[in-house]
Structure 1
């Protein structure tokens, strides 16, 4: 049986004084992609923030495996792309837990940065300012940063929103590679065909605190997912 990385025990979450997730229980295991779906305001981002440790639960608990390495990529709209920083420096931030936030990049880390950029299709772009990038290119940079974080559990909040189809396909292939390496990925997604094709597990929130969690094909075929829009 796949190793559990994180367990939710009767988790209840609120946002803006409203209960958005009620008594949610389940387990995230290695080697799986879990898609989180639901209507606007259903608590998808709130849940991801709680999993990342950025939002305390109102009830229940989140149990993390000992030594769990976790990475969280919020929505692009939450990030400031006007900051004067180069692509390579953004990617290198993925290694801050190893090198410190302001330590100069050594040769070994530069090679890691270059290799990560090559993996996401941006070879030779390390010295470009992020303000010059398209939405899709910037998302590739953020995925390159995730590569350097080397996390066991990767949380993605709407990672393909406003991103072109070619970039989406390339990054989905990288997500599947992560799962093949024994990592777990949780992603807020909206496209039903994409969810069916790529997600192993589906966590559907109904916007009223209710939820369904299980095998993707079974839930979709049973029309248990309330919204994928």
Structure 2
């Protein structure tokens, strides 16, 4: 399955009455959330409101205390974490990181086909990193690394893309490029759930969810 095969009405992710205990406290309390193909759900709220915990539950990294988490059968899931410093001599280039997006289809050690190499090059160009294709990933700025990870998600053709503060502490150019990449992801049919402190960073929001103390206090279409 690829995101292009899903109709806009297809529900890719569903959370129902989800409660999570994390680090000794109740991090989520009775949370409901849906994500549909080709649509962007933006989750906002103050620090400690449960935003990152929600993404971890959606990605299958945390098991809820109760409630249900359903991801459409066969859906590919991509989790793009917050940008973190990397060793400058890490022996992986931008092209290597982006090409990892093909592994779900090809396997980690199978040689890339011509079409896959073209897809990697197209994704790198789409996030404005063509001139840095052979640059070690650890030497890039935070914004450049974040753009490379989004390019990886584009190449993966994920049906569900989970973004954790994708524009935090980035310059204006990187924020604009990432906003473009998010638009591209939804245009190809991916369901995107993005956590942010500032919903205004995104150009078009299909569903806005606001958390406070682990509860949904706002859930409305558009923004």
Normalising by the residue count of structure 2, what TM-score does the alignment of the two structures yield? 0.88
Q: 1:8: Cα distance to partner?
A: 1.1
> 1:213 aligned to 2:219?
yes
Q: 1:104: Cα distance to partner?
A: 4.2
Match of 1:22 in 2: 29
Contact 1:92 1:148 in 2 (8 A): yes
Match of 2:68 in 1: 61
Q: How does 1:51-90 map to 2 (within 5 A)?
A: 51-77=58-84, 80-82=86-88, 83-90=90-97
Match of 1:119 in 2: 126
> 1:6 aligned to 2:6?
no
Q: How does 1:1-229 map to 2 (within 5 A)?
A: 2-77=9-84, 80-82=86-88, 83-194=90-201, 197-217=203-223
Which structure 1 residue ranges, 5 or more long, are not aligned? 218-229
Higher mean alpha-carbon deviation, 132-141 vs 50-59, is at 132-141
Distance in 2, Cα, partners of 1:74 & 1:214: 25
Contact 1:201 1:214 in 2 (8 A): yes
Contact 1:73 1:155 in 2 (8 A): yes
Match of 1:226 in 2: none
Normalising by the residue count of structure 1, what TM-score does the alignment of the two structures yield? 0.86
Contact 1:19 1:209 in 2 (8 A): no
Q: 1:210: Cα distance to partner?
A: 4.7
Distance in 1, Cα, partners of 2:41 & 2:114: 36
Q: 1:26: Cα distance to partner?
A: 3.1
Higher mean alpha-carbon deviation, 96-105 vs 57-66, is at 96-105
CA spacing shift, 1:45–1:168, aligned 2, 3 Å: same
Higher mean alpha-carbon deviation, 65-74 vs 150-159, is at 65-74
CA spacing shift, 1:110–1:15, aligned 2, 3 Å: same
Moved over 6 A (4+): none
Distance in 2, Cα, partners of 1:182 & 1:106: 23
**Helix, strand or coil: the match of 2:130?**
coil
Distance in 1, Cα, partners of 2:173 & 2:125: 16
Distance in 2, Cα, partners of 1:127 & 1:181: 27
Q: 1:52: Cα distance to partner?
A: 0.6
CA deviation string 1:164-192 (max 9, x = no partner): 11121122122122222322111011124
Distance in 2, Cα, partners of 1:213 & 1:139: 27
